[in-house]
Chain A
Amino acid sequence: AQKITQTQPGMFVQEKEAVTLDCTYDTSDQSYGLFWYKQPSSGEMIFLIYQGSYDEQNATEGRYSLNFQKARKSANLVISASQLGDSAMYFCPSGGGATNKLIFGTGTLLAVQP
């Protein structure tokens, strides 16, 4: 992808509620992949979920699901039943094509409130 856009710098959600984090991408590649990573305050990058551009079904991993809308070039992350431990920075890197250059957006800071 040439550009990743995460339009929500920060989000609040109540514990146990669902939250959607937005991610749009701009690419001319036919084959590409989209990831979601979580970065807690400790700094490590934690893999959450992956969607390939040719995958027909939306990816799901436990409480995480990816709402992939290829025509709109969006890959929003849905977290169901938020937990306090979900408070972190979230990124949606993407890449593909011949170079497989992986580009990040600016991220969304999620705060889960009790």
Chain B
Amino acid sequence: NAGVTQTPKFRVLKTGQSMTLLCAQDMNHEYMYWYRQDPGMGLRLIHYSVGEGTTAKGEVPDGYNVSRLKKQNFLLGLESAAPSQTSVYFCASSSQGAQTGELFFGEGSRLTVL
């Protein structure tokens, strides 16, 4: 009964380092989303995927890359981390996007870039 799992939960990086956040869901969902949330703000969509092998840009895609090689996994990569990417990152998944009431979130991953 895992739902949506994000790995790692916490990470500290130095400017210029790279890292990958993993989002895994066990509900056979087609749609997956990556958001970032900055202090006192709402969630902003980084990238999303409407199915295995597909990705699309959201509102704030610059500085991030994503891949959806397997249906259950959605990876978010930072090739050269910047302090502006310090944030809490949330992954979400859904069977039919906003067309049904199913939208499940992970617990969030807190990233600090020094």
Contact = CB atoms under 8 A, between A and B. Distances in A.
Contacts of A47: 103
A95 B98 contact: yes
Interface in A1-55: 6, 31-35, 37, 43-45, 47, 50, 52
Interface stretch (B13-21, B35-43, B64-72, B76-84): B35-43
A78 interface: no
Given A95-B98, A99-B56, A44 B108 contact: yes
Contacts, number: 74
B107 interface: yes
A33 B99 CA distance: 6
Interface in B82-103: 88, 90, 92, 94, 96-101, 103
B97 A91 contact: no
A78 to B, nearest CB: 18
Given A45-B90, A99-B56, A52 B108 contact: no
Contacts of B45: 101-104
B35 A104 contact: yes
B103 A102 contact: yes
Given A44-B105, A45-B105, A104-B35, A96 B99 contact: yes
Given A44-B105, A44-B107, A103 B99 contact: no
Contacts of A99: 50, 56, 97
B49 to A, nearest CB: 10
Contact of B42 (A43, A100, A107): A107
A100 B99 contact: yes
Interface of A: 6, 31-35, 37, 43-45, 47, 50, 52, 91, 93-96, 99-107
14 contacts: A32-B98, A35-B98, A37-B105, A43-B107, A45-B90, A45-B105, A50-B101, A91-B42, A99-B97, A100-B50, A101-B58, A102-B33, A102-B48, A103-B45
Interface of B: 31, 33, 35, 41-45, 48, 50, 56, 58-59, 88, 90, 92, 94, 96-101, 103, 105, 107-108
